[in-house]
Chains A and B, each alone.
Chain A
Amino acid sequence: DVKVTQSSRYLVKRTGEKVFLECVQDMDHENMFWYRQDPGLGLRLIYFSYDVKMKEKGDIPEGYSVSREKKERFSLILESASTNQTSMYLCASSSTIILDRAGGYTFGSGTRLTVV
């Protein structure tokens, strides 16, 4: 019954590495989102996408990029990982259809990334 899948639960990467976080949803949702979650700061939006090959910056896009080549997959890329990117990363998806919109987001289980 898993609907939003994040490929890794835990990752440890070295400073300067290029890191890929993958997210796949099976609900045919148009919208996909990447958030990072830090204690005391809640969830902060990094990037989002309303359609294939479309992307928009969220509140904290610096140091990140995204890719959405297929509707079901939304990848977050850390171009050169730094220790301040150690965090929990959450992927979510939602529907654009008006009647479904108020269903809010469906979240993945998260990827806890540690950069050393």
Chain B
Amino acid sequence: AQSVTQPDIHITVSEGASLELRCNYSYGATPYLFWYVQSPGQGLQLLLKYFSGDTLVQGIKGFEAEFKRSQSSFNLRKPSVHWSDAAEYFCAVGADFGNEKLTFGTGTRLTIIP
């Protein structure tokens, strides 16, 4: 069965600083990998996804993530955060063909300080 670990429960960064949120997955074959963002009181919005090809993927709102098979990681990065990036971020993994279920991590809450 697939699983996802987000080791950081809460991260605080200054506005304008760089950001990296960690995600490690466990799955035997090639996974589909996703990052979602949830603003307070809202549903989840897709930031970016990886399923094949270039291991560095670009998403919305200036985010990017890099798939590293050797480390089973899919870390999310942004070079300069904005106050509006304060939210909760979820990494998710999906199996290869035929299984539509996504398994989500427990989330990382991001706080931005002025």
Contact = CB atoms under 8 A, between A and B. Distances in A.
Interface of A: 4, 31, 33, 35, 40-43, 45, 48, 50, 58, 90, 92, 94, 96, 98, 101-110, 112
Contacts, number: 57
A110 B42 contact: yes
A9 to B, nearest CB: 8
Interface of B: 9, 32, 34, 36, 41-46, 49, 51, 90, 92, 94, 97, 100-102, 104-107
Given A102-B49, A104-B49, A45 B101 contact: yes
Contacts of A48: 100-101
A112 B46 CA distance: 21
Given A42-B104, A94-B100, A103 B49 contact: yes
Contacts of B104: 35, 42-43
